[in-house]
Structure 1
Amino acid sequence: MGDTLHPTRRVWITGGNGMVGRNLREHARARSWEVLCPPRSELDLADDGAVARFVRDHRPDLVIHAAGQVGGIQANIADPVGFLVHNLDIGRNVIMAAFEAEVPALLNLASSCMYPRNRDHALRESDIMTGELEPTNEGYALAKIVATRLCDYIVRVRPSAAYRTLIPCNLYGRHDKFDPAASHLVPAIIAKVDKAMRDGEDEVEIWGDGSARREFMYAADLADAVWRAAEDPAALPQMMNVGVGDDHSILDYYRAVAEVLGWAGRFRFDLDRPVGMQRKLSDVSRQRAWGWSPPTSLRHGIAATIRFYQQQA
């Protein structure tokens, strides 16, 4: 619990059992905090009264809002109502409970889905709310925009509140979802190529022509950035991208997974399937000025994620 000179700081991590939450909890810096992360069975973030009582009772020094209904293109298309309403509800409930209980600091984890579609430059924080959103995940993006703006408004009315938003690029890693119907790109690729290898198949389907480009960061690297931010949230910009600052084509990701797994088949392109934005690369100028960059290479991250996937099988 700490001593009188160095009392333990208390942090509430929402979504503590999701991919980002588990990577946060596994990080070495988590040991310097008293971490609260009640499961959904104990605290329903959609219940505003329960959330408000939890914050009043536990009085965290910091909230890391990492909870959300997440998924890839298929999941977003299948349940646009859930992706909008559920994320809107929990974002509002968590941030307002912290504000009303005068929690001094909050790190809101948003999403690069908030950015306008079809921009021909790396996405800058100032681009948010300046254009049309990508239709395939618009509901999720709208909910994340509302949470981000709510943090902005809180700082306007209470300048001492260190309520900041971190905008991660696409993530993959340990504790990811590997069901192609619900997962993001990299874990879906791992599951598809691994299945092809186990079943002796020599062909894997890719949605689109494989040319769309995506930026993916290993989830443990995001955890590293978040814990660094937790040491002094007030020193952060109001919004900051957290990413690699480089991207690869979807075909590149398929090839990287196939190489690590040792699968030598071929890829077939389904040009009738949706692929989302053609490119989504974050501008990491603010992140670099803050003095941080992700330490894990794509190959090492994919290899570690494949090991985790195979251990769960």
Structure 2
Amino acid sequence: MKILVTGGRGMLASNLRESAHKLDSTENEYIFINRSHGDLRDFDATKAILKEHNPDALIHTAARVGGIAANMAHPAEFLMDNLQIDSHILKGCVDLGVENVLYFGSSCMYPKDYRQPLVETDVLAAPLEPTNEGYALSKIAAARYCEYASAEYGLNYKVLIPSNLYGPGDDYTPGTSHLVASTLVKAHEAKTNNSDSLDVWGDGSARREFTFVGDVSDWVVQNIATIEQWPTYMNIGLGIDYSVKDFYEAALKTVGYTCELNFDPTKPAGMKQKLMDSSVAKSYGWAPSTDIFEGMSKAYSAFLEK
């Protein structure tokens, strides 16, 4: 089976490449595309890429992503860029007759401060978190299209909704990185500069679920052949969440440094909690094995090698 993977330079796709090399002993051929192959916001360019490779299956990881600051600063761009990328890829796959598509959603699709843990049917059950609403709306629209296309055209377009991911290949750019990467960078800089303190947005009580990206990529590579059997939506997460304060303390421990944490409750912290229920995925063999301390150690080692 020829499997085309978008977002080839991103964290998830990079780990899918490693997992395929390590675990896939079948005849599957993985092809990874990135921005150098064409702009997925251009429908003609996207269709040309799809026609050139004519895949049997597609794993769609390409997206414009960022942390809370980036999402708040550029909601229009996060909404429109992702709507264009997703609609061009998904409609292009339908037009070309690609039967199997795995679309990666986001835990941002879930309502703000809703029941815990979140289950797949909670999407659109209540208002979204305002700080990343633009990005969330684009992911919900694409997920619904996958559902509709599967029902209308008899295709296997499935949506995995991962918790926040972290690990080798993460984005450590200040202002755009997600929480775990950001904590590691800040802790590293504090150690490098021998700082007495480290600034933290919010009061540190907000809780987040982060899953090691290698666990996700390994599971996808080992199970993609059974995509036809999957339900349309599946949560895929660690099943444990930690407070923002916990992540900063773990980051300091990982880099081997101690300093004060200066919490600023005037800064936005996003949703109070968004722990997901991944029991559906567990029935399909999902069993993450990397705890947050081992995962952050691997992520920091990869960061130092950059």
TM-score normalised by structure 2 residue count? 0.96
State whether structure 2 residue 187 is matched by structure 1 residue 193.
Answer: yes
Residue matched to 1:4:
none
The answer to whether the Cα contact below 8 Å between 2:216 and 2:288 also exists between their aligned partners in 1 is yes
The answer to whether the Cα contact below 8 Å between 1:229 and 1:236 also exists between their aligned partners in 2 is no
The answer to whether the Cα contact below 8 Å between 2:104 and 2:160 also exists between their aligned partners in 1 is yes
Q: 1:31 Cα deviation (Å)?
A: 6.2
Residue matched to 1:219:
213
SS in 1 for 2:157: strand
CA–CA distance in structure 1, aligned partners of residues 182 and 242 of structure 2: 16
Q: How does 1:5-44 map to 2 (within 5 A)?
A: 9-27=1-19, 28-29=22-23, 32=26, 33-44=28-39
Residue in structure 2 matching 1:74, options 62, 69, 75: 69
CA–CA distance in structure 1, aligned partners of residues 172 and 24 of structure 2: 26
Residue matched to 1:51:
46
Q: How does 1:1-313 map to 2 (within 5 A)?
A: 9-27=1-19, 28-29=22-23, 32=26, 33-159=28-154, 161-312=155-306
CA–CA distance in structure 2, aligned partners of residues 30 and 179 of structure 1: 32
RMSD: 1.1
Q: 1:29 Cα deviation (Å)?
A: 3.3
CA–CA distance in structure 2, aligned partners of residues 158 and 235 of structure 1: 16
The answer to whether the Cα contact below 8 Å between 1:148 and 1:165 also exists between their aligned partners in 2 is yes
Q: 1:30 Cα deviation (Å)?
A: 5.3
Deviation beyond 3 Å, 4+ runs, structure 1? 29-32
SS in 1 for 2:268: coil
Q: Unaligned 5+ residue runs, structure 1?
A: 1-8
Which digits, 9 at most, give the CA deviation of each residue in 1:49-88, with x for residues without a partner?
1211222232101100000000100110111111000000
SS in 2 for 1:131: coil
Give the percent of matched residue pairs that are identical in Structure 1 and Structure 2: 39
Residue matched to 1:6:
none
Q: 1:288 Cα deviation (Å)?
A: 1.4
Aligned residues: 303
CA–CA distance in structure 1, aligned partners of residues 188 and 150 of structure 2: 47
Q: 1:233 Cα deviation (Å)?
A: 0.6
TM-score normalised by structure 1 residue count? 0.94
The answer to whether the Cα contact below 8 Å between 1:166 and 1:242 also exists between their aligned partners in 2 is yes
Which digits, 9 at most, give the CA deviation of each residue in 1:265-286, with x for residues without a partner?
1111111100000001001110
Letter in 1 for 2:69: Q
The answer to whether the Cα contact below 8 Å between 1:10 and 1:61 also exists between their aligned partners in 2 is yes
The answer to whether the Cα contact below 8 Å between 2:37 and 2:49 also exists between their aligned partners in 1 is no
Letter in 2 for 1:131: A
